[in-house]
């Protein structure tokens, strides 16, 4: 396993593999900017396999694997010190044979299928914003009366923000990718990352809108003791929707298909299912 040194190195690795093995099956959907980012962070590794190779992005608490292989039946990868996430993405009515075969190989190799998620786009954020605004105004008054404040996440609060995010039970660790402190500060300056602090200055709720081109994926979290108390989640959702409407961003999400409550919530919001599905497979680490 070695670090990928540059975008040219990345392309050359793939070119060589294709020259040796012919057409390869892959789950790598990264555009060049995403690859460059990992390389600049020194967080993109390449590991050779019997049937090809896998790029591993180091997301701090796990690796994410992007494979290029010729024979899916021979896919096998050793356990590492951190869990490895592999995502396979497909249209719900067109799961290709090689992905079905990959499911078998992943299981044989020790991976567990931890999630099957449906992709959604919020088509009319303005409508949702209008519906939530009245309640949000009330929540905001109560919140401010209690000494809470919504604000950008300053650099000195980043460690607390990350600890807060990592403690959110509803978001598994493998759905929490790595961001550097500089990236988080940048996002905060752009209004993509916001928190709610209590009167003592501790984070009790937060949201992060993660941009992928013109699409955004995000999370909103509230400390256990304040869930359903002041409407903090709705307030952060309104804050997020205002930004989305103002900037013309598309708001997307991945929803666990067995989570009925979440599916119903998204449908009430006016979410449209795109028909794209993502399987999440995890190979847990050595420890």
Partner 1 sequence: MENVRGKIIDIFKELKPELDIEKSTDLIEGGLLDSFDVIEFVSEVGDVFDIDFPVEEIIPENFYSLDTIEKIIKKVMEE
Binding residues (CB under 8 A) for partner 1: these are 11, 14-15, 18, 22-23, 26, 28-32, 34, 89-91, 96, 119, 212-215, 250, 276
Report the candidate in 74, 80, 135, 83 with the shortest Cα–Cα distance to residue 105. 74
Q: Are 171 and 165 in contact (CB under 8 A)?
A: yes
Beta bridge partners of 55: 46, 66
What does the alpha-carbon distance between residue 143 and residue 126 come to, in Å, rounded to a whole number?
Answer: 24
Nearer to partner 1, 19 or 199 (CB): 19
Residue 263: which H helix or E strand, with range?
Answer: helix 260-269
Smallest gap from residue 114 Cβ to partner 1 (A)? 19
- Beta-strand ranges (E) seen in 123-249 are 149-152, 193-197, 203-212, 215-222
Nearer to partner 1, 90 or 219 (CB): 90
Smallest gap from residue 93 Cβ to partner 1 (A)? 10
What does the alpha-carbon distance between residue 160 and residue 221 come to, in Å, rounded to a whole number?
Answer: 13
Nearer to partner 1, 42 or 215 (CB): 215
Nearer to partner 1, 63 or 68 (CB): 68
Smallest gap from residue 29 Cβ to partner 1 (A)? 4
Q: Tell me the two tokens of residue 117.
A: 């998620």
Nearer to partner 1, 26 or 101 (CB): 26
Q: What values do phi and psi take at 218, rounded to 5?
A: -150, 175
Q: What values do phi and psi take at 153, rounded to 5?
A: -95, 110
Smallest gap from residue 14 Cβ to partner 1 (A)? 5
Smallest gap from residue 144 Cβ to partner 1 (A)? 35
Q: What values do phi and psi take at 236, rounded to 5?
A: -70, -35
Smallest gap from residue 181 Cβ to partner 1 (A)? 26
Q: Are 122 and 255 in contact (CB under 8 A)?
A: no
Nearer to partner 1, 47 or 160 (CB): 47
Smallest gap from residue 250 Cβ to partner 1 (A)? 5
Nearer to partner 1, 233 or 255 (CB): 255
- Cα distances (angstroms) measured from residue 78 to each of 9, 48, 158, 187: 24, 11, 34, 35
């Amino acid at each position: 396993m070695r670090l990928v040194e540059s975008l040219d190195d990345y392309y050359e690795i793939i070119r060589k593999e294709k020259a040796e093995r012919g057409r390869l099956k892959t789950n790598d959907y990264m555009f060049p900017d995403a690859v460059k980012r990992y390389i600049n962070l020194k967080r993109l590794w390449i590991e050779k396999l019997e049937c090809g190779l896998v790029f591993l992005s180091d997301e701090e608490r796990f690796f994410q694997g992007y494979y290029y292989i010729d024979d899916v039946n021979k896919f096998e990868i050793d356990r590492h010190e951190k869990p490895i996430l592999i995502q396979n993405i497909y249209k719900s009515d067109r799961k290709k044979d090689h992905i079905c075969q990959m499911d078998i190989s992943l299981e044989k190799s020790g991976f567990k299928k931890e999630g099957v998620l449906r992709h959604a786009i919020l088509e009319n954020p303005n409508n949702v914003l209008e519906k939530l605004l009245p309640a949000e105004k009330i929540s905001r008054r109560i919140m401010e009366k209690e000494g809470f404040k919504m604000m950008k996440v300053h650099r000195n609060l980043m460690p607390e923000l990350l600890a807060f995010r990592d403690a959110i039970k509803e978001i598994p660790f493998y759905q929490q990718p790595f961001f550097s402190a500089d990236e988080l500060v940048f996002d905060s300056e752009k209004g993509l990352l916001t928190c709610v602090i209590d009167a003592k200055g501790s984070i009790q709720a937060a949201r992060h809108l993660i941009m992928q081109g013109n699409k955004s994926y995000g999370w909103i979290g509230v400390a256990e003791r304040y869930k359903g108390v002041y409407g903090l989640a709705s307030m952060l959702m309104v804050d997020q929707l205002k930004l989305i409407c103002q900037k013309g961003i598309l708001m997307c999400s991945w929803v666990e298909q067995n989570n009925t409550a979440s599916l119903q919530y998204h449908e009430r919001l006016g979410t449209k299912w795109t028909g794209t599905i993502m399987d999440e497979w995890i190979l847990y680490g050595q420890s």
